[in-house]
Chains A and B, each alone.
Chain A
């Protein structure tokens, strides 16, 4: 249980901001507005990560998602001018609402084995993540770098003009 007043206030503000922006992505007027609401929800997510004492992941979230993925989406929108139909596909809406309710019910109803009282302090995350990436998780680390190189080469090969 997190009881620190500052974190509680921050959590509520950030949670409402993130959820509101995610819902506005659905209801935005144009595609560019939708991407900007998505960016705001990414930033809200980064704030939520900080309330969970994951500062390294929060900074990486802003650096990668806001700085790179959002820019990619904006470029893709610029290059593919298409209408943004605001139709409400009823089966998708029903399925999403059903899934959301099921997950929320599962989250609220399950007795999670969390430590009672205050949570233990978190060690310095950057050093701990560095240790974890080099000792137990070195294989996923290397594979992730290979995946990134392959994705980079693939993306360039896909959009290259045929000479």
Chain B
């Protein structure tokens, strides 16, 4: 049995769709952030699959790109979770349906 690039892309697509469902369909802000992290992971998998199966002259670029995605995702997770904690302090809720307006 051989593994081609389609296998990795399919796995990435399924995980991306799962992350998208979490990000769009859940009411808890931390759940939305979990979905976003899953989407980042799926994108990384796709990038690395293309880097491995490519015929480009410098295939290491895919791995460097994935590394930057991981770094920026970590920074984004930190700021987003700090925001969630700060919002919880003010509104005592992190239900995204309740935090729709600037004025409480």
The answer to whether A159 and B25 have CB atoms under 8 Å apart is no
For the side of the interface on B, what is the size category?
35 or more
Contact: B48 with A49, CB < 8 Å?
Answer: yes
- A/B pair count, beta carbons within 8 Å: 243
Q: Which residue in B48, B63, B76 is a CB contact (below 8 Å) of A151? A: B76
Which residues of chain A come closer than 8 Å to B54, judged between CB atoms?
A: 114
A residues bordering B, Cβ < 8 Å?
Answer: 1-3, 7-8, 11, 15, 18-19, 22-23, 25-26, 31, 34-35, 38, 41-42, 45, 48-49, 51-54, 56-57, 60-61, 64-65, 68-69, 72-73, 75-77, 79-80, 82-85, 87-89, 91-93, 95-97, 99-100, 103-104, 107-108, 112-115, 119, 122-123, 125, 128-129, 132-133, 136-137, 140, 144, 147-148, 150-152, 154-156, 158-159
B residues in contact (CB < 8 Å) with A: 1-22, 24-31, 33-34, 37-38, 41, 44-45, 48-49, 51-55, 58-61, 63-64, 66-68, 70-79, 81-86, 88, 93-95
3 closest pairs, A vs B, by CB?
Answer: A100-B17, A92-B25, A107-B9
